[in-house]
Amino acid sequence: MDSKLIVYNTLTRQKETFKPIDEEVVGMYVCGPTVYGDAHLGHAKSYVSFDLVYRYLVHIFPKVKYVQNITDVGHLTDDADEGDDKIAKQSRLEKIDPMAVVERYMFNYFRDMDALNVRRADIYPRPSGHIPEQIEIILDLIAKGFAYEVNGSVYFDVAKYDETFDYGKLSGRSVEEMMEGAANRTLAAQSDKKNGFDFALWKRADPSHLMQWNSPWGKGFPGWHIECTVMSQKYLGDNFDIHGGGLENQFPHHECEIAQAEAHTGKAFANYWLHNNMVTINGQKMGKSLGNGIFCSELFTGDNFQLERAYSPMTIRFFILQSHYRSTLDFSNDALEAASKGFARLQKGLDRINELEASDKSTIDISSLKDSLYHAMNDDFNSPIAISKLFDSLKMVAALEAGEETITIADLELFKSLFNTFFFDILGLEVEETGTQSNEITDELMGLILDFRKAAKEQRDWGTADKIRDKLKELNIGIKDSTDGASWEFEK
RNA sequence: GGUCUCGUGGCCGAGCGGCUAGGCUGCGGUCUGCAAAACCGCCUACAGCGGUUCGAAUCCGCUCGAGACCUCCA
C-alpha cells in the first residue's frame, strides 16, 4: 500500500509515478460521448475503464474532481457526409429538434452507464452552454497570432504554433511529416486554410445549419476541439492532472486540445494523458460500416443477432475489467459466458467470507494478499491482476472452510474489508439481484415444497424428488442438497 | 504509402529477460440416492524465421497477420 501509483502517460509513452498538482484534489477530465445515438459496447469499455481510474483515485486521494463533457454540438458523421453534423443528421432522421436528440440520447447514456454502475462525474459540461467561453478563447488565440479568420471561419495556425511549441508531441507526429503526408495524398477539397493541417476553431454556418450562434465573425458554430480545451480549463484550471479519452481521439482531437490550451495560456495543459483501447467483436473491429455494433441496451436484453442471450450489466462490467484498459478487448459469446460464470463464483465468495469462523491464530497471510491487490492497481490500474488475486483468495476461503487453515478475528476482519473494498468500491461491482425477488410467500412456499421433497426422499421415492427438482429448475429455481438439508435460490 | 500499437494454450486474458497469473471450457476425482453447487487434481502456450544473451513469450531484425490514426469536416 506504500507503493506509488504508476500510470502510463501517452505524452511520454511510458509509465510514470503519478504526482498530483494538489494532493488534496486530483483533477480529471475525460472526453465524453457525442449524444446522437445510444451507447454501445465501445462506450461501455471506455467509461467503465475511466470509472475504474476514478474509483481508484477516489480511494487513494482525499478528493477527486471529475469532469466529463457531453458533446451536443455535433461533428460531421463521416467522410462521405458533408454539411450535416451527427446530431443534425439524427435530428432530421427523427424529425425532432437537435437539442431533443441530445436530450434523448444523453438520458439513454446515463441510463446505460448507471446500469454498468459507472459513477457520475462531478460536472457534465456541454459545449452549447459554453459558447461565450469558447468565443473568448478564440479571440485570445487570434490576438496572440495563433489563429486567423477567413470568411467567417476561424482556424488554428498549426505552423505558427509549432514555431514555439511542439505540435504532435502527444501522438508522435511532426508538422514536417504531416506536410509530406499531405503532399502524398490526394486531397480533394480546397479550403480557406493556410495549411491543410490547420483546424477549425469556429465555422461559419449557412442559414440551413440547424445549430448556430452569433459571434464576432458572424453566425456560426464552434469547432470540435475547442470545447474540451475550454471546459476542462474552466472547471479544472489551466494546468490539471489527468486527461482521458479513447485511443482514436489521440489525433487529432487531443493534439489540438493541447495546442489550443498551451497557445492560450503559455502553460502546460494536462500532465497525464490516459487512453483506453477499443473493442473488437469476434476478432473484428466494431464499426458502423461492418454492421456489427452492439448497443448496451441490446447486451442487457440479448436483442441482437450476434448475441446468444442477454448478459447482465455486471457481467459486462466484470468482462471489461478482466482485461486491461489499454488492451483491446475481444467480444464473443463464449468470452461473455466465461465472464458470467466467473463473476457468479466471485460473488458467492462475498457470502462465503462472511461465514468464515475466526480462530486464535492465522496460518494464512492476509497482508500479502493486500499488498498484491494494491500492487496490481498501483501498476496502471491493472484490474485483471487484481481480479485474479481475488480468485486466488477464494482458494484460501476453501481451505479455511475445510479447516485446513485458520485465521484470527483481526485477520478475518481485514480479509472481509479488503475483499469488499475491492469488489464494491474499487472494481465497482455489485451483487446482482437474480431477477426475481424472494419474499415471505415464496419463502414459505419453497419451504413447503422442500418439505414434501424431503419426505419423498425419506421414502426413497427418487422419482418424485427429482421431478420436483427438475420442475423447479424449469422455473429457474435451483435446489442444492447438502448434509444439512436442501436449500434453494433463484438462478439466471 | 506514412506514424503507432498488437499477435499468448480449446476460448477470453495477465505477464514483458530466469521463478511455468487468473477466469471459462474439457477430462479425472471428492461429496451426493443421482444431480447441482463447492472443493482437489490434470491439460506447460507465447504467429513464423533469424539474431543478442549463460538464459527470451519478454530485447533486436525480417516475414506474415490484425488494429488505431493520417490534417475535407469533426
Q: Are residues A299 and A153 in the same domain?
A: no
Is the residue at A1 inside a domain? no
Domain annotation covers residue A177: yes
Q: How many residues does chain A have?
A: 492
The DSSP bridge partners found for residue A326 are none
What is the tally of structural domains in chain A? 3
Structural domain harbouring A201: 19-276
Q: Which nucleotides of B are covered by protein (CB under 7 A)?
A: 1-6, 10-15, 21-25, 31-40, 66-74
Q: Residue A163: which of A259, A265, A247, A27 has the closest Cα?
A: A259
Distance A360 CA to B59 C1' (A): 50
A376 and A407 share a domain? yes
Same domain, A379 and A476: no
The torsion angles phi and psi of A231, rounded to 5 degrees, stand at -75, -35
Mean pLDDT of A477-484: 77
Same domain, A96 and A129: yes
CA A255, distance to chain mean position in Å, is 21
Span CA (A407) to C1' (B5), Å: 46
Clarify whether residues A190 and A46 are in a common domain: yes
- Residue A359 shares a structural domain with residue A234: no
A105: exposed, middle or buried (C-beta count within 10 Å: 0-12, 13-18, 19+)? buried
The nucleotide lying nearest A174 (C-alpha to C1') is B3
**Which of A226, A255, A276 lies at the terminal end of a domain, its last residue?**
A276
- For residue A67, tell me if it sits in a domain: yes
A359 in a domain, yes or no? yes
Q: Nearest residue to B22 (CA, C1')?
A: A388
Is residue A2, in this structure, part of any structural domain at all? Answer: no
Q: Does any domain span residue A481? A: yes
Mean pLDDT in chain A?
Answer: 88
Å between A352 CA and B30 C1'?
20
- In the structure grid, which three cell numbers stand for residue A37, read together? 445515438
Distance in Å, residue A392 CA to nucleotide B33 C1': 34
Question: Is there a domain that residue A432 lies in?
Answer: no
Residues A265 and A349 in one domain: no
Same domain flag for A399 and A307: yes
Q: What is the mean pLDDT of residues A160-180?
A: 84
Q: How far is the CA of A35 from the C1' of B9 (A)?
A: 42
Which CATH number goes with the domain that contains A188? 3.40.50.620
**φ, ψ (nearest 5 deg) of residue A81:** -90, 135
Q: Are residues A79 and A224 in the same domain?
A: yes
DSSP string, A68-103: E--B-SPPB--TT--S-BHHHHHHHHHTS-HHHHHH
My answer on whether A167 and A300 are in the same domain is no
Q: Does residue A241 share a domain with residue A170?
A: yes
Q: Which nucleotide is nearest to A323 (CA to C1')?
A: B13
What does the pLDDT read at residue A438? 64
User: What was the ipTM of the complex prediction?
Assistant: 0.91
pLDDT 10s digits, A89-105: 888 888 899 899 999 99
**Is residue A70 predicted with pLDDT exceeding 80?**
yes
**Is A39 a domain residue?**
yes
- Residue range A400-453, pLDDT digits in tens: 998 899 999 999 999 999 999 999 999 999 998 665 566 777 878 888 888 888
**A106-127 mean pLDDT:** 96
The last residue of one of the domains, among A379, A404, A426, is A426
Q: Which residues contact A153 (CB under 8 A, 6 or more apart)?
A: A192, A200, A202, A203, A204, A217, A220
Domain boundary among A276, A310, A340: A276
Same domain? For A119 and A254 the reply is yes
